[in-house]
């Protein structure tokens, strides 16, 4: 009879054969999820025999991962700053690098309503509401993404803190809206770069959430139109691809002043910050 250790080893080898990155770690997540135990508990139970019904649960999960379906879709959720976020094909899987956006806001904002543009799964809005106590208006052009965000907002009982709006950037925001901060993780990958992406990204995430012309099309549009929705001194924090900051610094956007860039965990420029100076009014 197979035990946990033998199944872990065979699963890791099988996934590695199919080109899955981090095959060993993924095998641990799959087994812990399939068995309903914590991942660290696997290491205390290597000799535990697995029943056929348990193996029958694990096999299709492993097969899906071998076909390069994102691990988060198989597990059904991921952790974003320690908060559980449901994941499926309706929205972009939250990335670890994006977590730093919440820290960037926390050191530059103190009160008022925050605007989250392109909210996707709602991960950023949820973290901001839970950790900073902010009220958030979160918008997205995708009805599918908003339906997932609604589930995540309900999961964390944040219906009184987060308002969801279907909007193409700012086009459907309530008239006269003013926000004391704007966050946006918009599509920033040039369509020409699609062949370079991992299958998990290309086939798992909605293309609407990944690609935007030359990579800056939607970001430029937002920067050209957001000033009228901001209160004086409001920070505008945008996630970008490394190198795009140079382009954005060289361009002029109505009423906005470029402030700084922030690097991610790998030392790559990941965020640009603009500001609406008080002198604009």
Domain limits of the chain? 4-67, 79-280
The domain defined by 79-280 folds into: Rossmann fold (3.40.50)
* Residue range 105-139, pLDDT digits in tens: 999 998 999 999 999 999 999 999 999 999 999 99
Residue 116, C-beta contacts closer than 8 angstroms, at least 6 positions apart: 124, 125, 128, 136, 137, 138, 139, 183, 184
Of 228, 132, 130, 213, the closest CA to residue 175 belongs to 228
Q: What is the CATH number of domain 4-67?
A: 1.10.8
Of 198, 211, 241, the closest CA to residue 71 belongs to 198
Residues 94, 78 contacting (CB under 8 angstroms): yes
**What mean pLDDT is predicted for residues 86-104?**
97
β-strand 269-275 against 113-117: which pairing, if any? unpaired
pTM over 0.75: yes
Residue 281 pLDDT greater than 80, yes or no = no
Handedness of CA 79, 80, 86, 92 (dihedral sign): negative
């Amino acid at each position: 009879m197979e035990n946990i250790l033998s199944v872990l080893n065979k699963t890791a080898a099988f996934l590695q054969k199919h080109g899955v990155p981090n095959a060993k770690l993924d095998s641990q997540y799959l087994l812990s999820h399939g068995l309903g135990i914590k991942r660290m508990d696997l290491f205390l139970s290597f000799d535990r025999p697995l029943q056929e019904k348990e193996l029958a649960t694990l096999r299709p999960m492993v097969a899906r991962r071998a076909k390069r379906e994102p691990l988060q879709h198989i597990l059904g959720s991921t952790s974003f700053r320690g908060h559980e976020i449901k994941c499926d094909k309706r929205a972009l899987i939250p990335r670890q690098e994006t977590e730093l956006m919440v820290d960037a806001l926390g050191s530059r904002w103190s009160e008022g309503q925050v605007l989250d543009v392109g909210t996707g799964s709602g991960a950023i809005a949820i973290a901001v509401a839970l950790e900073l106590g902010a009220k958030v208006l979160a918008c997205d052009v995708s009805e599918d993404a908003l339906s997932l965000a609604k589930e995540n907002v309900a999961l964390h009982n944040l219906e009184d803190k987060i308002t969801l709006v279907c909007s193409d950037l700012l086009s459907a925001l309530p008239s006269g809206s003013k926000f004391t901060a704007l966050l946006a993780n918009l599509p920033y990958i040039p369509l020409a770069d699609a062949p370079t992406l991992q299958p998990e990204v290309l086939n798992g995430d909605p293309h609407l959430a990944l690609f935007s012309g030359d990579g800056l099309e939607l970001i430029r549009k937002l920067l050209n139109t957001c000033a009228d929705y901001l209160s004086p001194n409001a920070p505008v924090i945008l996630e970008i691809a490394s190198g795009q900051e140079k382009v954005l610094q060289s361009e002029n956007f109505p009423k906005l002043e470029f402030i700084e860039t922030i690097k991610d965990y790998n030392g790559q420029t990941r965020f640009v910050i603009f500001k609406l100076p008080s002198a604009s009014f």
